[in-house]
Amino acid sequence: MEKKVKLLLGLHSHQPVGNFDFVFEDAYQKSYLPFMEVTRNYPDFKFTLHFTGALWEFFEERHPEFIDLVGEMLARGQIELVISGFYEPVLASIPERDRKLQIKKAMDYIRKRFGERPRGLWLTERVYEGDVLKTLVDMNLAYVVVDDYHFLQAGVEQNRLFGYFLTEFEGKKIAVFPINQNLRYLVPFHRVDEVIEYLQWIRDNAGGDGAIIFDDGEKFGVWPGTYDWVYKKGWLKDFIERILSSDFVETVTYSEYLKTHKPQGRVYLPSSSYFEMGEWSLPAGVAVRFSDFVENLRKNNLFEENRMFVKGGIWKNFLVKYSEANYMHKKMLLVSGFVNDFKGRRRKEAEEHLLKAQANDAYWHGVFGGLYLPHLRRAIYENLLKAERIVKRKAFIRDDIDADGFDEVYMQNGRIGIGITSKDGTVYELSLLSLGVNLQDTLTRRFEHYHRNVKVKREGEDNAGTKSIHELERYVTPEVKREMVYDWYERRSFIFHILPQDTSVENLRYMDFREYGDFVNMPYTMRSDESRFAVSLHRKGGIYKEDSKREFEITKKVILDGNTIYFKVKNAKDLEGLTGGIEFNLHFVKPLFVVGNKELKGQDTMFHEKSASSLMIKDDFLGAEIEFVCSKECDVMLYPVYTLSQSEAGMDMVYQGSSIVFVYPLSYREFNITLKMEGKDA
């Protein structure tokens, strides 16, 4: 009897917590709905489906008829539903107690809504670590889906990756399915004939009969060019009809395959994700070398046969690569501990905010915007701060919170939260708890390894890209190219500069200035006073000018009192001929800047106001109103900070915040700034 290939088609569909409503709706109209409308006409075409919690909530609110359609197809046995953590966290990045909450919430939703108990789990971003396995077996899941690349790294030969394997934790077993990379790249981008030819190859050559694919549902309509290709030009309809008319392919769900097939063997997998993630998670300079290395292997026809020996970084490298992601992650762990210790009546509400804040997208960056998208980071902080406000009315913590070897102090009084680090004597969090807004949520301008391939598009040029988002040409205008500036220090606040007197706001914006002191990016001695909610930072440093060093020392103080923060800088001695600059980097959405007699609106605002003593900023979108008041007249310089990041559509220039620098003569022995913060319901 001729071998039949079992096609296990799985679709994973997801939108991040905090994404724009129009993005949800666009994905629904272009991908989720048309896919189901086409497939419902072919009851014998079986597949497996996964929607994340944010999408189920969207369907419940906006399109309950879609849930009815899913229920109809589920009832007739055409589809199987699998789960992930409800809000799509990277399970390896959150505490085990929270993993179980996320999985249980997803299980409960499917059980209550459809009367089914899900047996399988889509592992978010296929980030596999050994300790996650314990959670999966404890939750009595039957199988999990990862990439074939995981198996190759474990030494499993490619020809065996056409079925499932068993792994175990303390004797508790779970099935592991390897997603076929070739199918992941063929479907739906290549002609149906090419897919059929590959399925024939599996029939004739593979050591198993499983053609396993589980990939993004957004590839069927949302990715560039796919809506026309998949639906208007009929790729999906043609694909289904060709599969159903085939005499050697049969579609099955993952659970059906488990019932009828024995495992290919036993396996123990390394910490890993899909191959591309390994490149993205490396530091930019190393990522350049890695991509060159892989390209060299490809040119010499050595890559495919040696792919199992080629590995980049792991997902947690993003917490090293991006300090902002790391602090957001450590803030999440901090709040998770607060929530876990809380026994009050609003615990469930706090848990819900915490689980939403664990959505993975804003914690990393690859081909999609992720960390570079402020609205996604804003949603993380909003939920973290709302959870914190419920369970922790007051806090003063001194510890190495972000695991970098330096102490931080985090203090909050129920209204304002502020984080200060001794690593460089700066402020890394500045939150209005009542609004759930962290104004310090900015992003440093960094070199990314894909920046080296960015090309300038001249007016009138036609630079069409290719079909795959992994191969799109990266073109920008000359104006955008100018914003490809890289910061040599992190964009936090209460940064102390020593600058030449003629430094302009343009010099600051484009990193074209001389720094005379060594008070940026250098450690400070920290003292903390919990009774006064005060922190003192001291540094003995130097001024480097005309090839000589002059000793200089400063003390910085931060005091939190109600809705007011006092920032104080004191020099050990007068210094003529140079200026000090105190820099804040804050994020706004719809800011109005009031300085002197001027009112200026918008994220792209830039100015240099001389002889000023205050700056007020209102943001009606956030509901925030803040005012800086200086102890002496100074120059106020303000400019926008933009980053250039890749996305599925090409290159995006994104506003990350506004840099505010108060410039004053260092003949002042003391210079103080009072920051008053108010929050109204946005």
The amino acid at residue 508 is L
Domain co-membership, 106 together with 172: yes
Please compute the mean of the pLDDT values over residues 31-56 and round it to a whole number. 98
Domain co-membership, 541 together with 641: yes
Phi, psi of 149 (to 5 degrees): -60, -35
As a whole number of angstroms, the distance between CA 259 and CA 616 comes to: 66
Asked if residue 332 belongs to a domain, the reply is yes
Asked if residue 336 belongs to a domain, the reply is yes
CB 379 within 8 A of CB 370: no
Q: Final residue of a domain: which of 356, 375, 392?
A: 392
Asked if residue 297 belongs to a domain, the reply is no
Which residues are identified as catalytic? 125, 216
As a whole number of angstroms, the distance between CA 174 and CA 602 comes to: 54
The amino acid at residue 419 is G
- Burial state string for 328-338 with b = 16 or more CB within 10 A and e = fewer than 16: bbbbbbbbbeb
Phi, psi of 396 (to 5 degrees): -145, 105
In this structure, are strands 165-169 and 172-179 parallel, antiparallel, or unpaired?
A: antiparallel
Domain co-membership, 149 together with 120: yes
CATH number at residue 413: 2.70.98.10
Please compute the mean of the pLDDT values over residues 262-274 and round it to a whole number. 96
CATH number at residue 14: 3.20.110.20
CB 7 within 8 A of CB 249: yes
pLDDT tens column, 483-532? 999 999 999 999 999 999 999 999 999 999 999 999 999 999 999 999 99
Asked if residue 146 belongs to a domain, the reply is yes
Nearest CA among 433, 466, 407 for reference residue 563:
433
Asked if residue 464 belongs to a domain, the reply is no
Beta strands in 444-578 (DSSP E): 455-456, 475-476, 495-499, 525-529, 534-545, 548-561, 564-571
- Work out how many domains the chain is built from and give that number: 3
Domain co-membership, 341 together with 405: no
* DSSP H stretches of helix in 76-125: 96-114
Helix (H, G, I), strand (E, B) or coil at 94: coil
More reliable by pLDDT, 361 or 477:
361
Domain co-membership, 49 together with 164: yes
Phi, psi of 559 (to 5 degrees): -130, 130
Domain co-membership, 406 together with 384: no
Supply the mean pLDDT for the chain: 95
Domain co-membership, 30 together with 58: yes
Residue 451's DSSP bridge partners are none
In this structure, are strands 47-51 and 5-13 parallel, antiparallel, or unpaired?
A: parallel
* Residue 477 tokens, joined: 């205008």
Give CA separation, 330 vs 86, 366, 516, 536, 562, in Å: 21, 21, 33, 23, 25
465: confidence class by pLDDT, cuts 50, 70, 90: very low
pLDDT tens column, 114-123? 999 999 999 9
As a whole number of angstroms, the distance between CA 260 and CA 256 comes to: 7
Residue 193 CB partners (closer than 8 Å, separation 6+): none
Q: Final residue of a domain: which of 351, 377, 392?
A: 392
Q: What is the DSSP string of 376-407?
A: HHHHHHHHHHHHHHHH-S-EEEEE-TTSSSS-
**Structural domain range at position 191:** 5-273
464: confidence class by pLDDT, cuts 50, 70, 90: very low
Q: Final residue of a domain: which of 371, 392, 413?
A: 392
Give CA separation, 634 vs 55, 70, 493, 564, 665, in Å: 50, 63, 18, 21, 8
As a whole number of angstroms, the distance between CA 67 and CA 60 comes to: 7
* Residue 537 tokens, joined: 């930072």
As a whole number of angstroms, the distance between CA 545 and CA 552 comes to: 12
As a whole number of angstroms, the distance between CA 484 and CA 145 comes to: 39
Instruction: Tell the residue number behind the tokens 């962290």, with chain if given.
Output: 438
Residue 295 CB partners (closer than 8 Å, separation 6+): none
Q: What is the DSSP string of 334-358?
A: HHHHHHHH--STTHHHHHHHHHHTT
CB 17 within 8 A of CB 56: no
Q: At what angle do helices 235-245 and 192-205 cross, to 10 degrees?
A: 30
Give CA separation, 192 vs 39, 189, 238, in Å: 16, 9, 7
The pLDDT score that the predictor gives to residue 367 is 86
As a whole number of angstroms, the distance between CA 585 and CA 468 comes to: 36
Helix (H, G, I), strand (E, B) or coil at 194: helix
Domain co-membership, 414 together with 400: yes
Domain co-membership, 374 together with 418: no
CB 491 within 8 A of CB 324: no
Domain co-membership, 215 together with 76: yes
Asked if residue 284 belongs to a domain, the reply is no
Residue 200 CB partners (closer than 8 Å, separation 6+): 248
* DSSP H stretches of helix in 494-537: 505-509
pLDDT tens column, 433-450? 999 999 999 999 999 999
Asked if residue 456 belongs to a domain, the reply is no
* DSSP H stretches of helix in 64-191: 64-75, 96-114, 130-138, 148-153, 181-186
Segment among 181-195, 345-359, 474-488, 510-524 with least mean pLDDT: 474-488
CB 12 within 8 A of CB 214: yes
Instruction: Tell the residue number behind the tokens 């310090």, with chain if given.
Output: 440
Domain co-membership, 83 together with 39: yes
CB atoms within 10 A of CB 652: 17
The amino acid at residue 290 is F
Residue 526's DSSP bridge partners are 537
Nearest CA among 236, 269, 239, 242 for reference residue 144:
269
pLDDT tens column, 622-679? 999 999 999 999 999 999 999 999 887 778 899 999 999 999 999 999 999 999 999 8
As a whole number of angstroms, the distance between CA 107 and CA 90 comes to: 17
- Percent above pLDDT 70 for the chain: 97
Nearest CA among 503, 577, 571 for reference residue 541:
571
As a whole number of angstroms, the distance between CA 474 and CA 456 comes to: 9
Largest CA distance in the chain: 93
CB 396 within 8 A of CB 33: no
pTM equals 0.95
Domain co-membership, 405 together with 368: no
Q: What is the DSSP string of 590-609?
A: SEEEEETTEEEESTT--EEE
469: confidence class by pLDDT, cuts 50, 70, 90: very low
As a whole number of angstroms, the distance between CA 45 and CA 215 comes to: 17
Asked if residue 467 belongs to a domain, the reply is no
The pLDDT score that the predictor gives to residue 467 is 46
Helix (H, G, I), strand (E, B) or coil at 324: helix
pLDDT at 320 > cutoff 80: yes
More reliable by pLDDT, 115 or 574:
115
- Percent above pLDDT 90 for the chain: 90
